[in-house]
Structure 1
């Protein structure tokens, strides 16, 4: 019988943009099985306070073409926006 790596469980408090990106980067670089628990009082994963506004006067302070969730993929955000 083969033994496998134990599963590591990580809780991230705050499931907004930053918490989600922490989870993505942990999973992307994991060298063992992970379970990620995102915990947020709003029960919504993703936008958080900063990105949940519906006010059209709220603008980004950097062009979308210069933003990315991944340092090695400069066009990530723009591609994500086009596919959304």
Structure 2
């Protein structure tokens, strides 16, 4: 990983602990490997690339609507278990 992605000492930052779909994690890992960058740099770049529309949300992003079930979750919010 290149030192070009090292933050200056004392740069403010916060922890982000989250779960993503396996295919999203694969994409993040692939982008990070191709860019020789840490995954935090990939996530930050992706978020910063979104341009807010009239509603304040990034245009073109397929975000779930309120009440929608996220892929991989049941209506009750439990993780769907799939057999291989």
TM-score by length of 2: 0.28
- Report the structure, 1 or 2, having the larger strand content: 1
**Larger RCO: Structure 1 or Structure 2 (Cα < 8 Å, ≥ 6 residues apart)?**
1
